[in-house]
Structure 1
Amino acid sequence: MSKYCAVNQHRFIYKKEDFKMKRKMFNKVMAASLTAAMTMSLAGCGGNAATTEAPADTTVDQQTTTAETETTESEITVEPEEEGPVALTDADGNVYDLGGMEIIIRDWWSSGEEEEPKNAYEEARQEYRDWVQDTYNFKIKQVAISDWGSTPEDFLNYATTGGDENYVWILRQGAEFVSAMNSGLMYDLATLDCLDFSQDKWKGGVHKLCSKGDSIYGCSPEIPEPRGGLYFNKRLLEEAGINPDDIYKWQESGEWTWDKFEELCQTITADTDNDGVTDRWALVTDDSETKNEAVWSNDAEYIGMENGKYVNKLESDETLQALNWALDMMAKYKYMPEGAEWDYWKTAFPNGDGAFLVGQAYLAANEFKDMEDDFGFVCFPKGPNAKDYRNCYTDNIYAIPACYDADKAWKIAFALNAYTNRVPGYEDYNDRLSGYYDSFRDTESVDLTIARMCENGFTTYHDMIPGLSLGEQFLWGCTIDNPPAQAAEAVRNEWASYLEEANK
């Protein structure tokens, strides 16, 4: 039987000075005496030779009694102490001890320095993470060691040769990850039952993207990142007689559809001075971005997963419908100066050359931060095959090298899981949102769109197929003159060979 098998959960009560939950703070006056009754139950579990086992949930009921004491001035009633977080214990009732293990979450952007908390949530998070590390006796920090370009090769070399470090690697999605996974270089997280992928913290679905059969080779505990949507220039909409706020209302009511979007584009695109030349345009946008968002918005994709196998969805009715619609929209409503580079939109939209831009959420803090006109941001409108707006998640992947033994991998996974749990008292708090308020020009962009994108998302698989290059092999050549069905037929056999290899 594994030493990690039979465990129970022991609830600890902390005084205010031990663990401060900032959202529910209140003044407390300690009485002369305080007694607490605590009962504990233990639960055991059977062994499984194929799996390194982890804690089974059993809670310890706790009762706290208050005492009253008389003073010369007044009678003071002691209020019950707030509950602290749950500490996991082994079969003998001992809190897990990771032996002072020092763990590094290895990425390509973090400084490794702990930043000062800026708000009550960040204070509570810091206190919780301090408690986690003290309780289970480990240290963890996130620091850049590789750079963006070298990370895949660095992981390949490390996982092949091994090392004494205790790493959690953050890797980007792509064919390099699949190659490493197929080569047996990723630890199978499904064998570590300290990880429960049914929990809400894994809702981004990265573990599904990184699954093969019953095995799971990567995950992400982070709230999914909002990605592609539709920017709009409020001044240009108002000049065309459109109330910009109506777009948010349509989004909330479910009326924000392809048809509604085209109605606006028809209204905006015009020859305002009657000289025979269109001088007000609805769209300035990147072709590939627009095609992709159209596909996602019609509940479609290029490569799917069926019965544990990658499948070609490029020629499905929903995907071809979306691509044809996107090409038609750009042909009728897109402003494209003669001789312009593919990324002309980076200056065209801030300059007011078009009312709408299909783009990623991060652009607000970068290319558009100095834009003179106010802008808004909504989800890409729904296609006829979709029931709701969709955000395609492309989050980074957390992985543990397969060169680690079972004991080491379990401890690293246990620490990562505990460290990244939702902060007690802030379980429903989305810490991604705060950073977007400074980037966008209205609160609706964040409260109604960014927040929705963190919930309404899916993962897809075209970036996970070695040899398959969506842009080079299909998107760039899919045009009005080379329509989607024709372009899809041209790559059918080539993609079939890639899928056959990936499915081995």
Structure 2
Amino acid sequence: MRKYFKGLLALALAAGIMALAGCAGEKEPALSATPAPTGGTAQATQSNLKNAIKAGEVYRYYVWNTEDESDPFKNVDGVRKEMAVNNKIQFEEKYGVTIRYVLSAGGDDWYATPFASASAGTPMTDIFNAGGSYVTLLAYTYNGSAGRILLPLDDYQEYADFSDSEYWDQAAQEICTLGGKLYFCVPSPMGWELVSNNKVTLFNFDLVRRGGMEPADLYEMSNSGEWTWDAFRQAVMACTFPEENIFGTAIGDNVGMMAALLTSNNASYFEKQEYEGQLIDRYVGNSKNAIEAWDFFVKLALEDYSVELSGTAETTTFSAGRIAFLLTGLARTSTIYQRMQSDYGVLMPPKGPNADNYISDQDSFLPLCIFNGVSNPEGCAQVLGEYFRPVYARSSSENQALLEAELSTYLRDGESLEICRQLPGVSKVQSHMLYIKLRTATDEQAMLESIIYGHAWNFAKGEETPAQYLDSIVDLVNSTVFNAINPEG
């Protein structure tokens, strides 16, 4: 079955690449850096923007994985590399400028070094790729400031427009609106990235069959809306063999299981609320729906003994055949597909009792910003809005073709591919990853991640109850977030 599907996937990949490269006979037209969006509205908006870019300028761009300034796309393969190279060439020729990819500082300093340069008034880059949502707030709060090293993008609306939802992720940008201003734009994901950060259920074919189920039945449950918490629990219990150190599910990296369960039950760690005259994230991880998710986790761990709690990397335990069902981000398959001998599949995250449909947590995105102190801020805003605008509109057929072609690399069957195609329609962008590295005002100065979900192991052992503990941290979490966004002085 796998060999047959691999053949189909190879054909799909080839077809996708031909479509994406614009193949027509023997010619391959160059890809446009700013193609006409669906509906034409954004194109009209783009044409009304002012030009601030001057010929001969160099615009510096910093992204964490740039290893060679002379070959900035060395870590990009296939059609993605072709698209990136063409985009850069065309933009540089259009304006007579250079886009220079700045060598990454690497290691733990990959973001600290550029932050320090911006704080000193001599930014080493014009445009900064935050690499993930948690770095967003680290930049905004650097040295106890409130956005001091960043430029608010709202101030440059004459030169860049980030309002088209086909090209810019509006839900993520709402999260990146801090102190009432937008500091980070978030390009709408293309292809694989459209779903890679979505929480899903990965499952091991061999362990599922050992537990008395067939993959086809699980796919049917997922497709019919019957893959619920109750169904998940029954499946997890059937596939737990503790004497062999094999578990039905796992707590996951960064307690990822709980992000999936909270969201699937129509709950969140944070939500935007009016407070002290501003719209700001407030902690709601102690809501009724959230407590219900935690209690479900405790039942699986304490009563059913079905949750792997060792903290071992989830890709390691799942690939080794020790976990039957893993609630995690789909991106994990980019590692698992190379390591795992057994076949595996993808289901929706199980549906909670307070949700009418599947809801898939999406808690990471790629924000871009401009550092304060750059020589031409208006030009930087224009570069940000045009050069980094995705080649394909979010809902375009080209983006769908890219999604399916890239998914085919990591999946083992067509049923999983079909389920993954549905993920954009059930995604919910969550904000908790912004705050996990904030230090609290406790004696230990514990990071917020340890406060929000670090007590999961205590819950699993029956040493604490979720409701009581989560009620006790509300003020601490809220004050930590509020003070970070609104530092005194």
Normalising to structure 1: TM-score of the pair? 0.72
Checking the alignment, whether the CA contact within 8 Å between 2:172 and 2:365 is kept in structure 1 is yes
Q: Deviations over 1:416-440 (max 9, x none)?
A: 3222334369664154654443333
2:399 is aligned to 429
Matched, 1:414 2:382: yes
Find out whether 1:209 has 2:175 as its counterpart.
yes
Amino acid at match of 2:365: D
State the Cα distance separating 1:324 from its structure 2 match. 0.9
**Offset of 1:25 from its aligned partner?**
2.2
Give the length in aligned residue pairs.
Answer: 420
2:471 is aligned with 1:489: yes
- Could you tell me which residue of structure 2 aligns to residue 107 of structure 1? 63
Counterparts of residues 181-330 of structure 1 (less than 5 Å): 182-193=146-157, 194-203=160-169, 205-223=171-189, 224=194, 225-269=196-240, 281-286=247-252, 288-307=255-274, 308-330=279-301
Moved more, 300-309 or 364-373: 364-373
Letter of the structure 1 residue corresponding to residue 92 of structure 2: Q
Task: Note if contact 1:229-1:361 (Cα within 8 Å) is conserved in structure 2.
Answer: yes
Question: 2:307 matched to 1:343?
Answer: no
The structural deviation recorded for 1:211 is 0.7
Give the conservation status (yes or no) of the 8 Å contact 1:335–1:354: no
Equivalent residues of 2:203, 2:324 under 8 A apart = yes
Query: Using the alignment, how far apart are the partners of 1:184 and 1:314 within structure 2?
Result: 30
Residue 176 of structure 1: aligned partner:
138
Which of residues 416, 421, 435 is equivalent to 1:464? 435
Residue 402 of structure 1 aligns with an amino acid whose one-letter code is N
RMSD after superposition: 3.6
Q: 1:217 to 1:383 in 2, by over 3 A?
A: same
SS at match of 1:202: coil
Paired residue type of 1:418: E
Aligned mate of 1:156, from 96, 115, 127:
115
Q: Distance in 2 between matches of 1:305 and 1:200?
A: 23
Structure ranking higher in helix proportion: 2
Aligned pairs for 1:339-488 within 5 A: 341-343=310-312, 345-366=314-335, 369-386=338-355, 387-404=357-374, 408-423=376-391, 428-429=398-399, 431=402, 434-449=405-420, 452-453=423-424, 456-461=427-432, 463-464=434-435, 466-468=438-440, 469-478=447-456, 479=459, 480-488=462-470
Change (3 A) 1:459 1:197: farther
Q: 2:91 aligns with which of 132, 136, 140?
A: 132
What is the Cα deviation at residue 375 of structure 1?
Answer: 0.9
Q: Identity of paired residues, percent?
A: 17
Mapped to 2, the partners of 1:424 and 1:490 lie a distance apart of 46
Q: How far apart, in 2, do the equivalents of 1:417 and 1:142 lie?
A: 17
| d(CA) in 1 for partners of 2:476, 2:313 | 32
Cα distance in structure 2, aligned partners of 1:493 and 1:122: 47
Deviation for aligned residue 1:161: 2.5
Residues 1:23 and 2:22 aligned together: yes
Superposition deviation, residue 168 in structure 1: 0.7
Higher relative contact order (CA 8 A, sep 6+): 2
Native 8 Å contact 1:284 1:353 kept in 2: no
Structure 1 Cα separation of the partners of residues 464 and 453 of structure 2: 11
Name the CA distance, whole Å, in 1 between partners of 2:139 and 2:374.
18
Q: Is the 8 A contact 2:435 2:449 kept in 1?
A: no
* CA apart distance, 1:173: 3.1
Judging changes above 3 Å, is the alpha-carbon distance between structure 1 residues 374 and 415 closer, same or farther for their aligned structure 2 residues? Answer: same
1:263–1:322 distance in 2 versus 1, CA, 3 Å: same
Distance (whole Å) between structure 2 residues aligned to residue 437 and residue 270 of structure 1: 32
For residues 269 and 167 of structure 1, what CA distance do their matches in structure 2 show? 52
What is the Cα deviation at residue 313 of structure 1? 0.4
Q: Which amino acid aligns with 2:148?
A: G
Describe the shift of the 1:137–1:446 C-alpha distance in structure 2 as closer, same or farther (beyond 3 A). Answer: farther
Which is worse superposed, 144-153 or 394-403? 144-153
> 1:177–1:148: structure 2 CA closer, same or farther, 3 Å change rule?
farther
Q: How does 1:87-102 map to 2 (within 5 A)?
A: 88=47, 98-102=54-58
- Alpha-carbon distance in structure 1 between the residues aligned to 2:315 and 2:360: 24
> Which deviations, in whole Å up to 9, do the C-alpha atoms of 1:205-245 show, x marking residues without a partner?
33222213541011221505424322111112123332213
Q: State whether residues 267 and 289 of structure 2, in contact with CA within 8 Å, keep that contact through their aligned partners in structure 1.
A: yes
User: Aligned partner of 1:299: which letter?
Assistant: N
Q: Give the direction of change, closer, same or farther, for the CA distance of 1:306–1:371 in structure 2 (3 Å limit).
A: same
The answer as to whether partners of 2:162 and 2:385 remain within 8 angstroms in 1 is: no
SS of the counterpart of 1:310? strand
Equivalent position amino acid for 1:188 in 2: P
* Structure 2 unmatched runs, 5+: 1-18, 28-40, 441-446
TM-score normalised by structure 2 residue count = 0.74
Q: Structure 2 CA distance, aligned partners of 1:427 and 1:170?
A: 27
2: CA distance, partners of 1:266 / 1:164: 54
Q: Distance in 2 between matches of 1:22 and 1:269?
A: 47
Rounded to whole Å, the distance in 2 between the matches of 1:21 and 1:368 is 24
Q: Is the 8 A contact 1:283 1:334 kept in 2?
A: no
Secondary structure of the corresponding residue to residue 376 of structure 1: strand
CA distance in 2 between counterparts of 1:309 and 1:427 reads 36
Q: Mind listing any 5+ residue stretches in structure 1 that lack a counterpart?
A: 1-19, 29-55, 60-85, 272-276
